[in-house]
Structure 1
Amino acid sequence: ATAANPTASATVDAELVQTVTLVKTVDMQFGKVALTGEGIGTLVLGVDGVITPTNLFVPTTGNLTPTAAVFGVNGLSGTAYTVSIPTGTIPLTRQGGSETMDVSAFSIKLATQALGVLTGTIGTDNTFAVGATLTIPTTQAEGKYTGSFPVSISYN
């Protein structure tokens, strides 16, 4: 008699998920600021768009309303994701010049999460806002300053 050849099987699985997308819907705007020459100052832009100045810097928004940056997230509903925002400083450069100012202390608020929570769920946290702090040196040149900062998301 011949011996039977033992056999076994394994399950094969694959899960396809919709690509997660991230879209900026609103740019960050600190607005216009009156220079006072009173020393280094800061403008703290909250995730709600509210500006808190220090050292006698006076926001004079004119036709520029301060706004936090806002991003939209789309993907497979119910899937958790994590947001990465800058942890260091990002320079803003004066248009037509080389002078810079730094933006730092980035903050985040996902739609249904507490301030500072970086993890959300697609379907309930489809938007998030990012605020930051702008440091204005004592002798900063007048003008418009621009820059950009990276934001990324990943599925958990």
Structure 2
Amino acid sequence: MSTPENTAPPTLEEFLALAPEGNGALNDKMGVEVTEFSPERMVATMPVEGNTQPYGLLHGGASVVLAETLGSLGSALHAYPDRIAVGVDINATHHRAATSGTVTGVATPLHLGRSMAAWQIEITDDQGRRVCTSRITCALIPAQRD
């Protein structure tokens, strides 16, 4: 992480307060709740209800939103305070359907560099079964100051 030595990383609340839209309208709409926020691991939950496709299954795009939220937050925390993270690539493999309950995404870094960060996100259902595996790469660019 690029924060100066002896400086603790910001809390989730402090970090989101720096963003123009806080948690983000899409995350609010989809019910994404970040439960763990650290440079080494990000965790969030999302309800299946309200995030389904016409057959009543968790929408694959909803899984990708959860994954991108976690990977982008992790990348942004790593880049803080001098740089910001912008997504350049994301992929997802959908392993099984979820029809109810909550899914949980756990993101761990694959690479944390000066100009790029990559994270793997594993999404599981309430029974701990893997629903989706995703990988995101973010470019870390200079923060623009006014």
Q: Indicate whether the TM-score tops 0.5.
A: no
Q: TM-score, normalising length from structure 1?
A: 0.28
Larger Rg: 1
* Larger relative contact order, structure 1 or 2 (CA cutoff 8 Å, min sep 6): 1
The structure where helix makes up a greater share of residues is: 2
